[in-house]
Structure 1
Amino acid sequence: MSASISIKNITKRYDDVTVLDNINLHIEDGEFVVFLGPSGCGKSTLLRMIAGLESITEGSIDIGDKRIDTLPPGQRGVAMVFQSYALYPHMTTRQNMAFGLENVNVAQDEIDRRVNDAATILEIDHLLDRKPGRLSGGQRQRVAIGRAIVKEPKAFLFDEPLSNLDAALRGRTRLELAQLHQRLGSTMIFVTHDQVEAMTLADRIVIMHEQKIEQIGTPMEIYQHPVSRFVAEFVGSPPMSMLPINHIERTPEGVTVEVSGAGKVATAIALPENFKTTGAVIGIRAEDTSVVSAEDDGLDLTIKVVERLGDRTLLYGCLIDGTDLIVEDSGRSSVKAGHIVRVALSSHAAHIFDGDGLAHHSQQEV
């Protein structure tokens, strides 16, 4: 049976406060989708509505060809993994994983099979007789995931499951989740505010902002062609630099924009005639800049902070009018804070955002 999920015209209100406003989304069977957005955007609420832990004000939710929003949580065919592990401290790993199945009277030999299979998949079969107090944070999270796997659900729902792990363990667990999805082939929805988790795990990312869906796309579609200034600044590390536009000159190749402190920047972007210039900015990612020699054409940037990351160096500086710009240099960069460097921008990699924050991109490949 298909485990596709269709969310139709979903609205959620608490009295006069609207938390989600007319959300429509279709998730394919076996797809790994990440809900990404800042705190308060409604992503966890939407996940909890799919799970049946929050009521729906308007709209409906289907899994396959069956409507499930009218069903109690236990009959929806989904399993949820929470940010807190929620393990019973007095039970062993085996007992924690089996508890939910025992409550619905699954036969003991079937429980044993499911628990052993899940433990093997998660490589925690040697931990089945340990209680949570003797497990590390990563091991506890695996047990929580195992408890979901044994239910053999149609879809897995993850609510910021890596938030309690340290940086190194988060990286390893991300890899394990990706491998788990490949092995199970199940539909998975993962909620996070961490764009690195979204970029590395998702088949598609659903960007949520101010109670609505801002953009849906693959990680690279979101990164390379953000539909709005919000998406451009939210996705990517470091964030995209935004330079205010003073004047736009149309050319056969696109437009040339005049930027305070930076002079004219040529782009391959074609803008509509009704483009809203007031409040418009040109956006550039750090990797689409380069430090050049003082004799070359470019912008003069006064460096305030140098961030050395090993394989690359990020230079945080300001133009002559005080506008901030983040530039990428090589890992062996000799630039120091206080230096003035000449910077070139890739004209085909720039993005222009109008006064309403809507994006316009080059039609050429970067």
Structure 2
Amino acid sequence: MSASISIKNIIKRYDSVTVLDDINLHIEDGEFVVFLGPSGCGKSTLLRMIAGLESITEGSIEIGDKRIDTLPPGQRGVAMVFQSYALYPHMTTRQNMAFGLENVNVAQDDIDRRVNDAARILEIDHLLDRKPGRLSGGQRQRVAIGRAIVKEPKAFLFDEPLSNLDAALRGRTRLELAQLHQRLGSTMIFVTHDQVEAMTLADRIVIMHKQKIEQIGTPMEIYQHPVSRFVAEFVGSPPMSMLPINHIENTVDGVTVEVSGAGKVVTAITLPQDFNAKDAVIGIRAEDTAIVSPQEEGLDLTIKVVERLGDRTLLYGTLIDGTELIAEDTGRSKVKAGETVRVSISPHAAHIFDGNGLAHHSQREV
């Protein structure tokens, strides 16, 4: 049976407060989808509504061709992995993984098979007789995931499962989750506010903002073609620099914008006739800049901070009027704080955001 998930016209209210407003989303069978957004945007609430841990005010949720929002959690065919491992401290790994199956009277032979299979997939066979107190944080999280796998669900729901792990372990566990998805081929929904997790794990990312879906797309669609200023600033490290636009001049190949009296930026962007120029900005990602000679076209950037990352160097500085811009140089960059350098910008990589925060891009791929 298909494990596609359809979320139709979902609204969630607590009294007079709306926390989700007309959410529509279709997740394909076997797809890995990440809900990404800041705290309070409604992403965990939406996940809990799919799991049956939160009621819905309006709308419906289907898995395959079956409506599930009217069913109790145990009958929905989903398994949830929480931020907290929630393991029973007096039980071994084997007992923790088997406990849910025992409660619904699954045959012991079947329980043993499922636990052993899940332990092998997660490479925790040697930990089956240990109690949680003798496991590391990463091992506990694997046990929590194993407890979900043994249920043989149609879909897995992950609610910020890596946030309790340190940075190095979080990176390893991300890789393990990606490999787990490849092995199982199951539908997975993963909630996070961490863009690195979203970019590395997702087939598609659902960006949520102010109780609505802001954009849906593959990681690179989201990164290269954000639909709004919010998405552009939220996704990407370092964040996209936003430069106020003083003047816009149409050209044959696009528009040239004057950046707060600090210079001109040539773009390949064509703007609509009804473009709202009030408070418009041009967005530049650091990797779309280059340090050039003073004789070439570009913006003069006075460097405040140099961040050396090995393979590249990030240059944090200000333009003549004080506007902040982050540029990128090679890993062997010799630029120092206090220097002024000239920065060129790729005309096909710039983004213009109108006064409503909506994005306008070059139609040509960068």
Fold shared, TM-score > 0.5 on shorter chain: yes
Map Cα deviations across residues 257-316 of structure 1 (whole Å, 9 max, x no partner). Answer: 111143211110000011000010000100000111222221111111111111111010
Question: Structure 1 residue 336: deviation in Å?
Answer: 1.6
Question: Structure 1 residue 249: deviation in Å?
Answer: 0.8
Question: Structure 1 residue 242: deviation in Å?
Answer: 0.5
Structure 2 residue matching 1:290: 3-state secondary structure: strand
Question: Structure 1 residue 111: deviation in Å?
Answer: 0.2
Question: Structure 1 residue 332: deviation in Å?
Answer: 1.1
Structure 1 residue matching 2:306: 3-state secondary structure: strand
Asked whether the equivalents of residues 265 and 298 of structure 2 are also in contact (C-alpha less than 8 Å), the reply is no
Asked whether the equivalents of residues 77 and 155 of structure 1 are also in contact (C-alpha less than 8 Å), the reply is yes
Give the Cα separation in 2 of the matches to 1:236 and 1:292.
24
Question: Structure 1 residue 73: deviation in Å?
Answer: 0.3
Asked whether the equivalents of residues 300 and 320 of structure 2 are also in contact (C-alpha less than 8 Å), the reply is yes
Asked whether the equivalents of residues 34 and 189 of structure 2 are also in contact (C-alpha less than 8 Å), the reply is yes
- Unmatched 5+ residue regions in structure 1? none
Asked whether the equivalents of residues 261 and 323 of structure 1 are also in contact (C-alpha less than 8 Å), the reply is no
Give the Cα separation in 2 of the matches to 1:311 and 1:267.
27
Map Cα deviations across residues 73-111 of structure 1 (whole Å, 9 max, x no partner). Answer: 000000000000000000000000000000000000000
Question: Structure 1 residue 364: deviation in Å?
Answer: 1.1
Asked whether the equivalents of residues 303 and 337 of structure 1 are also in contact (C-alpha less than 8 Å), the reply is yes
Question: Structure 1 residue 24: deviation in Å?
Answer: 0.3
Asked whether the equivalents of residues 97 and 150 of structure 1 are also in contact (C-alpha less than 8 Å), the reply is yes
Asked whether the equivalents of residues 246 and 261 of structure 2 are also in contact (C-alpha less than 8 Å), the reply is no
What is residue 122 of structure 2 aligned with on the other side? 122
Asked whether the equivalents of residues 261 and 319 of structure 1 are also in contact (C-alpha less than 8 Å), the reply is no
Give the Cα separation in 2 of the matches to 1:191 and 1:91.
28
Map Cα deviations across residues 132-191 of structure 1 (whole Å, 9 max, x no partner). Answer: 000000000000000000000000000000000011111110000000000000000000
Structure 1 residue matching 2:238: 3-state secondary structure: coil
Give the Cα separation in 2 of the matches to 1:225 and 1:264.
22
Structure 2 residue matching 1:327: 3-state secondary structure: strand
The worse-fitting range, judged by mean Cα deviation, of 321-330 and 337-346 is 337-346
Map Cα deviations across residues 23-78 of structure 1 (whole Å, 9 max, x no partner). Answer: 00000000000000000000000000000000100000000000000000000000
The worse-fitting range, judged by mean Cα deviation, of 76-85 and 262-271 is 262-271
Map Cα deviations across residues 333-352 of structure 1 (whole Å, 9 max, x no partner). Answer: 11121111111111110000
Asked whether the equivalents of residues 141 and 161 of structure 2 are also in contact (C-alpha less than 8 Å), the reply is yes
Asked whether the equivalents of residues 8 and 61 of structure 2 are also in contact (C-alpha less than 8 Å), the reply is yes
**TM-score computed with the length of structure 2 as normaliser:** 0.99
Q: Which runs of structure 2 are paired with 1:264-343 in the superposition (5 Å)?
A: 264-343=264-343
Structure 1 residue matching 2:348: 3-state secondary structure: helix
Question: Structure 1 residue 131: deviation in Å?
Answer: 0.3
Asked whether the equivalents of residues 264 and 298 of structure 2 are also in contact (C-alpha less than 8 Å), the reply is no
Structure 2 residue matching 1:348: 3-state secondary structure: coil
Asked whether the equivalents of residues 37 and 209 of structure 2 are also in contact (C-alpha less than 8 Å), the reply is yes
Structure 2 residue matching 1:98: 3-state secondary structure: helix
Asked whether the equivalents of residues 303 and 316 of structure 1 are also in contact (C-alpha less than 8 Å), the reply is yes
Asked whether the equivalents of residues 351 and 359 of structure 1 are also in contact (C-alpha less than 8 Å), the reply is yes
Give the Cα separation in 2 of the matches to 1:83 and 1:348.
41
The worse-fitting range, judged by mean Cα deviation, of 292-301 and 16-25 is 292-301
Give the Cα separation in 1 of the matches to 2:112 and 2:364.
57
Structure 2 residue matching 1:230: 3-state secondary structure: helix
Asked whether the equivalents of residues 290 and 329 of structure 1 are also in contact (C-alpha less than 8 Å), the reply is yes
Give the Cα separation in 2 of the matches to 1:205 and 1:261.
37
Asked whether the equivalents of residues 8 and 23 of structure 2 are also in contact (C-alpha less than 8 Å), the reply is yes
Work out the number of aligned pairs and report it. 366
Give the Cα separation in 2 of the matches to 1:253 and 1:327.
25
The worse-fitting range, judged by mean Cα deviation, of 298-307 and 67-76 is 298-307
Asked whether the equivalents of residues 43 and 208 of structure 1 are also in contact (C-alpha less than 8 Å), the reply is yes
Give the Cα separation in 2 of the matches to 1:69 and 1:365.
41
Asked whether the equivalents of residues 12 and 58 of structure 1 are also in contact (C-alpha less than 8 Å), the reply is yes
Asked whether the equivalents of residues 47 and 157 of structure 2 are also in contact (C-alpha less than 8 Å), the reply is yes
Give the Cα separation in 2 of the matches to 1:182 and 1:261.
52
Asked whether the equivalents of residues 263 and 298 of structure 2 are also in contact (C-alpha less than 8 Å), the reply is no
Q: Which runs of structure 2 are paired with 1:38-57 in the superposition (5 Å)?
A: 38-57=38-57
Map Cα deviations across residues 195-239 of structure 1 (whole Å, 9 max, x no partner). Answer: 000000000000000000000000000000000000000000001
What is residue 237 of structure 2 aligned with on the other side? 237
Asked whether the equivalents of residues 255 and 271 of structure 1 are also in contact (C-alpha less than 8 Å), the reply is yes
Structure 2 residue matching 1:89: 3-state secondary structure: coil
- Unmatched 5+ residue regions in structure 2? none
Give the Cα separation in 1 of the matches to 2:320 and 2:249.
22
Asked whether the equivalents of residues 264 and 299 of structure 2 are also in contact (C-alpha less than 8 Å), the reply is no
Asked whether the equivalents of residues 256 and 267 of structure 1 are also in contact (C-alpha less than 8 Å), the reply is yes
**TM-score computed with the length of structure 1 as normaliser:** 0.99
Give the Cα separation in 2 of the matches to 1:308 and 1:84.
35
